Structure formats: structure tokens, C-alpha cells
Structure 1
Amino acid sequence: MSGWDNAPYPDHPPFTWGDRLRIAARILPLALLVFGGLILLLTVRLVERPLSGASRPVSPRITQGVCRGAVWLCGLDWRSEGRMMDRPGALVANHASWLDIFVLNAAGPLYFVSKAEVADWPGIGWLARATGTVFIRRDRRAAAAQRDTFVGRLRNGHRLLFFPEGTSTDGRRVLPFKTTLFAAFFTDDMKARMAIQPVSVRYSAPEDQPPEFYGWWGDMEFGLHLLRVLSARHRGAVRVDFHAPLGVADFPDRKALARAAEVAVRGDRPSE
């Protein structure tokens, strides 16, 4: 855990009756969309798996459609700049919230790399497993096996996305990137054809809320944060910027590649 995980949380006033009514009006459609989409995805996978194996040509599009609807129901106006790359490799982004999963999946088919604990979270864990998330453990003893898993997914043509900060923040800064997962791209048979695409996610809070409104970090309760998001009187916004891909072969090692990606993702935001 980094020092950021112990940062104080913003104070929130108690829910008003108006807040409760907005939550009630939004949470049922959101649940129906997400879990209805999950049922549809699993049904499609019954046919897709024997025909296409690990390539998943159809089911990620279901995830994308569900996530676009979920972003809207969570009160966010979504837009993007640039284009998601279509060459082999992975995307790396800053990490501000559980909302990042919806926001980034809304941009196009991809597979997240997540800490292993997420697989056991009620609701979120089921969704993560169904959508092909790669789970990793923060354990040096497991580093080699995890790198092999990572490489295997890349060889299957999967477009992966991971959060090199290693934790989430309030979205107003970018933490130094951890370099461990970048090593997977420097294997001899992959380096020449792989690329890393930096992606910046920027949230704009509703007009009557603090700037860190969408940030979710440390031991902040997921359920309470979800209710805060759904109770917002005004809509917020999120912008996803796709920067130019970085060819792995253009960098001498994982540290240089990670640093270049970090600079692109941060832009004009501070570091810690």
C-alpha cells in the first residue's frame, strides 16, 4: 500500500430525501443493465467458446455496450479524444475509481489486469471473471508465472489494460508508475511487434460537488461511494484521451518505457 491509500476522505453530508429518490430511480435500471448484460454475455460465450476459443470476437462488444449505458446511468457524460490502437499490445491508464472499469470498457473491446482480491468481491468479482479479466497477485514469488499468463493473453491477440500506479487516487494526480508488468513486453519474440498505448482518464465533478467526487481510494466503501455517485443532482463528465502508442522496441528496458507512458498519461497533472 502506498501513502496515498491513507489519504483522508472528503466529508459528505447525510443523504436527503431528494438524494434517496434519485438513487432509487437509477439503481434498479443500472442493476438490470449490468446483470442482464452479464446473462447475455454468458449465453453468447456458450457458443463463442467452442467456435473461437480464447479470441472472443463477439462478447467484448456486449461488455462495451453495457458499459456505455452504465456510464450514462451513473450520471457521467462520456467523450474521448484520439483512437484506441488496433496493433498488438496493451493500454495503460491512471486509476481514480471503480468507475474506470465502465469508462474504459465503453471505449472498445479490452481486458483488464486486476489484483487477485477483486475476483472474490461480491458482484464486481463475478463481472470481472465473466469479462475475461486477468488476475494477478502482488507477490514477487508469483512474478514469473504472472508474466507467463500475461504473455499468453497477448499472444492470443487480447488487448489488455492495466493501471501501473498500483492503486487508485482522487483522479487529480498521477502516481509514479510501477514497472513490473512492463517486463512482459520485452520477451524476445514479442518486443518487436508490441506497443503500449498511454490513456488519460479525467473526471469533472458535478457543479455542486468537490473536485475529487468520483475518486475512490484506500478503504473507502464501494457501496457508499456508489450511492453518492447515483445521488448526484447534476451530471458530471469524463474524458478519455488516447495518446500515441509507444513501440516497445524503441525503449531499452521496462523502466524507460514505463516512464514515457507515465509522462504521457500525467499531462499537466501533478505527481506524488
Structure 2
Amino acid sequence: MGTLRAVFILLVIGVVTPPLMVLQMIFLATGASAARTLPVWWHRFVCRMLGVRLTVEGKMSPARPLLIAANHVSWLDINVLASIAPLSFIAKSEVATWPVFGWLAKLQRSVFVDRSRRTRTRHVNNAIAGRLAAGDVMVLFAEGTSSDGNRVLPFRSALLGAAHELARLEDDDGKPAGRECSAAIHVQPVALIYTRLNGLPMGRQHRPIVAWHGDIDLGPHLWRLLQAGSIDVTVAFGEPIALVDSAGRKSVAVAAERSVRGMAQKTLAGRGATWGVADAAAGHLSATLPARAETG
């Protein structure tokens, strides 16, 4: 049954997606406003096909410029977050080379960061700055990698280092380009918590079905998840934190990490909307594992 389900999902998504990709290319080329909203509907369609049931706690801040700092569990995080509102992602450069996923990331106007080439830092900072100045909401997975889903890893303050430069856009020579953002960048912590599989508490033993981390190959992981069944996930929005200058990036990273971990613990302990107290009593408080010391 699981194999038939996986094949059916792949066939339907495979039929629907290519025409929408062409349409998105046209929207991007013509500057149509639909280029922002079409990905939202596509991600909602994918989540429905996968059986993802989403609960949103809190709301996205209306403040701009807005940078979302989220924990990272799976490739599915992108579909879940992007089904809520028009978003673009800050991704590692390797993603751009991935078949299909790389094309989809480009069509969603992702900004790709090559961490091995520091000479490109200003160029990337300016690209992100331009997007934020235009009102786009950017998503940064602040752990710098994906986790096993049982804990929130330390947020890397180095990944927020570029944010303070967004207050002034510069050209390739480092000179002011004439546009300015507001004095503070608003960093909003967002927690993704996968809670149930086929209606039952997911727990530590089943979370690897969703979590994609380490050296796990994407293909087998994708196939297993397609076979798995319905998945419940909570997306919790925390209070925005103002980042004014580079001196504050470490404190902002720590505060955002603390906020995300707290929201994860709250949901898994049954004080969120998706998990009852009885489940928490059964010993599924995996988010309460101690975190490593903040680095970066």
C-alpha cells in the first residue's frame, strides 16, 4: 500500500509541476506579482499530496525588513514554511546544482551562499539586502545544517553576521548604492516541530522518517517519507528581535535559539495546539535534550 501511495504522489506531482514551472518562469521574466504567490499554492498542493497537516501558532511579523531564523529538520521544512506565505530561502550553493530541487529553489528566487568563498560575501549580502529592501521575507535555517529532529542545535551567529550590513546596500566596489533599509533588521524566530505520524505521536523512534540529516541520501529518504502516511507539523512564530549592528549578532542568535527551543518544548510538552498531555507523559519530550554551547 505504501508503494502505491508513493508512486501515485510522484505521478501527480510530476504531471502538475512542469507546467507550473514554465508559468513561474514567465512570471519572473515579466515581473508579474503572481511570481510571489504561485509558489505558495504549489507548496500547499505538495503538502496536501504528502498528507501534511499544518498547525500555525502565532503569526508572521508585519515588520520589515524581516529575516526568519528557523530550525531545520528536513527538506520538507521548505514546503511547510513556503505554504504559509510568500517566502524565499537563503540556501547553500550546492542546492543550486541539485536536479529538480535546484530548479525549484531558483524559481522561488532563493539566494545561494558559497561558504567556501569569502570573496563573494559582499555580493551575497547585497543580494539579500536588495530582496529585504524590496519587502521580501527571507528564511535562514540558523543552525547551519539539519538536525535529527529530536533537538534544536545551536544557532550560528556567523550566519546572522551579514544581516547588520543590510541597513545599507553597497555596489560591487563597496560604495553606497543610494538605497537604505530601516535601522534595524527584524529577526523572527520560527520553530518547526513534527509531532505525529498517521495520527500517532511521532516520538524519537519515528522522527527519522521525517528528519533528513547527516549522510542520509535524499532519494531513499524521500521514497520512505512518501510511503509513510500523514504527518502533523506545527510552525510556531516567536516575537521578532531587532538586530541593529554586528555587535549584537551573537546575542540575537542566542535569543532566537532560546525562543525556538522554548516553542519546541512547549509544543512537545502538550502546551501547544498539537499534542495532548497524555502523549507528553508517555515520555516523548525529546526536544528537552540539553543543547550544545553556542558557537560561531
Q: TM-score range by the shorter chain?
A: 0.7 to 0.9
1:39 shift after superposition: 2.1
Give a deviation string over 1:140-160, Cα, whole Å, max 9, x none. 443333223222222222211
Pairs within 5 Å for 1:18-37: 18-37=1-20
Write the letter of the residue equivalent to 1:142: R
What residue in structure 2 maps to residue 164 of structure 1?
142
Query: Residues of 2 paired with 1:141 and 1:186: CA distance?
Result: 18
What residue in structure 1 maps to residue 120 of structure 2?
142
Change (3 A) 1:86 1:160: same
What residue in structure 2 maps to residue 111 of structure 1?
88
Pairs within 5 Å for 1:10-21: 18-21=1-4
Match of 2:158 among 173, 176, 180: 180
Query: Residues of 1 paired with 2:154 and 2:254: CA distance?
Result: 8
What residue in structure 1 maps to residue 43 of structure 2?
67
**Does the alignment pair 1:229 with 2:225?**
yes
**Does the alignment pair 1:98 with 2:75?**
yes
Query: Residues of 1 paired with 2:246 and 2:58: CA distance?
Result: 23
Are 1:111 and 1:161, in contact at CA under 8 Å, matched by a contact in 2? Answer: yes
Q: Which moved more, 1:84-93 or 1:107-116?
A: 84-93
Structure 1 unaligned regions, length at least 5 = 1-17, 50-56
Query: Residues of 2 paired with 1:108 and 1:33: CA distance?
Result: 21
Write the letter of the residue equivalent to 1:91: I
Matched length: 247
Query: Residues of 1 paired with 2:62 and 2:145: CA distance?
Result: 27
Change (3 A) 1:31 1:205: farther
CA RMSD of aligned residues (A): 2.1
Query: Residues of 1 paired with 2:182 and 2:125: CA distance?
Result: 14
What residue in structure 2 maps to residue 196 of structure 1?
187
Are 1:75 and 1:229, in contact at CA under 8 Å, matched by a contact in 2? Answer: no
Change (3 A) 1:94 1:22: same
Query: Residues of 2 paired with 1:84 and 1:260: CA distance?
Result: 17
Write the letter of the residue equivalent to 1:226: L
Please give the secondary structure, in 2, of the residue aligned with 1:259.
helix
Are 1:112 and 1:134, in contact at CA under 8 Å, matched by a contact in 2? Answer: yes
Structure 2 unaligned regions, length at least 5 = 169-180, 266-286
Query: Residues of 2 paired with 1:60 and 1:222: CA distance?
Result: 27
**Does the alignment pair 1:210 with 2:206?**
yes
What residue in structure 1 maps to residue 284 of structure 2?
none
1:215 shift after superposition: 0.2
Change (3 A) 1:33 1:237: farther
Please give the secondary structure, in 1, of the residue aligned with 2:206.
coil
